């Protein structure tokens, strides 16, 4: 069964601005509602996946977005090195958590010499690890390759700051199908995606702005923020079970379903 990491939202808030979604949102998070929204998503995920819960840390409001905590490759947990000062301390606590999970990870490695923001900017499908750059993770992540042989990376350049992480505009549903928003990418990246996947679910601007691409995929189950009925119909025709959630409080910080989760296997 798939294992997924989440972080308790006790300390979630918008207390600074490091992406366009946070503008004018400081202090406006309804924390009680955020707790309810998070719990509904996590409870639904627990029906199809094993959930690991990491405790949050006071003063680190974005720690709830565990997709950015790192990435697991071959039982090694690579802990992120964040671009913004406001998030850099998260890595210390993520490392401490991962080091206690010897049943899950063979090793825990803190990335230090490049900027890399975990699964927020790195998703695997179609025989490759797809790495986003342009706003957060470094361009040279694809050269770093985490010191692992026989691993293939492809870089995708993001060009619109509203889609500042790869997982906000690009979601592989399988090795042959991808859900994505083309205007978020440079022309070369668009062509790469078009040529690498057989089937494409192209998001409308409305659904892209609703963060529909920020979707958790567990086999045929898709967990995503509120999106259009048209998109649900499209995904249902592709034999996916679509689960929609109100994640309005987390959208104030520029995050949604996938941002709140990290695949551990």
- H-state helical runs in the chain: 31-45, 85-88, 90-99, 141-144, 187-196, 205-209, 229-237, 248-251
Dist. CA 248–CA 253, nearest whole Å: 9
Residue 200 designated active-site: no
Residue 259 designated active-site: yes
Q: What is the 3-state secondary structure (H, E, C) of 136-156?
A: CCCCCHHHHHHHCCCCCEEEE
Catalytic position from the list 165, 171, 215, 227 = 165
What DSSP line would sit under 155-171, residue for residue? EEEB--TTS-SGGGTEE
DSSP 90: H
Dist. CA 42–CA 185, nearest whole Å: 30
Q: What are phi and psi of 64, to 5 degrees?
A: -60, -25
Q: How far is CA 193 from CA 59, 125, 208, in A?
A: 38, 11, 17
Quick one: 221 exposed, middle or buried, by C-beta within 10 A (0-12, 13-18, 19+)? middle
Length reported for the chain: 265
Those residues whose C-beta lies under 8 Å from the C-beta of residue 117, and which sit 6 or more positions away, are 68, 80, 82, 83, 136, 137, 165
Those residues whose C-beta lies under 8 Å from the C-beta of residue 41, and which sit 6 or more positions away, are 223, 245, 247, 257, 260
Residues with catalytic annotation? Answer: 165, 259
């Amino acid at each position: 069964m798939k294992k997924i990491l989440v972080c308790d939202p006790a300390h979630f808030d918008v207390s600074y601005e490091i992406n366009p979604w946070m503008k004018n949102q400081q202090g406006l998070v309804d924390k009680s509602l955020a707790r309810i929204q998070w719990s509904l998503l996590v409870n639904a995920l627990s029906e199809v996946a094993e959930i690991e819960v990491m405790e949050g840390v006071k003063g680190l409001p974005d720690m709830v977005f565990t997709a950015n905590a790192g990435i697991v490759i071959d039982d090694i947990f690579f802990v992120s090195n964040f671009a913004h000062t406001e998030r850099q301390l998260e890595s210390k606590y993520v490392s401490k958590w991962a080091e206690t999970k010897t049943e899950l990870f063979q090793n825990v490695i803190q990335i230090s010499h490049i900027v890399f923001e975990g699964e927020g900017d790195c998703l695997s499908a179609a025989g490759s690890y797809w790495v986003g750059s342009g706003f957060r993770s470094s361009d040279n992540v694809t050269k770093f390759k985490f010191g692992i042989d026989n691993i293939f990376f492809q870089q995708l350049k993001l060009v619109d700051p509203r889609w500042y992480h790869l997982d906000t505009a690009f979601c592989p549903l399988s090795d042959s199908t991808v859900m994505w928003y083309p205007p978020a990418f440079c022309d070369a990246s668009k062509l790469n995606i078009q040529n690498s996947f057989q089937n494409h679910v192209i998001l409308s601007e409305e659904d892209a702005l609703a963060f529909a691409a920020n979707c958790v995929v567990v086999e045929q189950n898709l967990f995503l923020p509120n999106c259009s009925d048209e998109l649900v119909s499209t995904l249902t025709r592709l034999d996916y079970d679509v689960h929609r959630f109100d994640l309005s409080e987390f959208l104030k910080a520029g995050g949604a379903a996938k941002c709140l989760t990290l695949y551990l296997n």
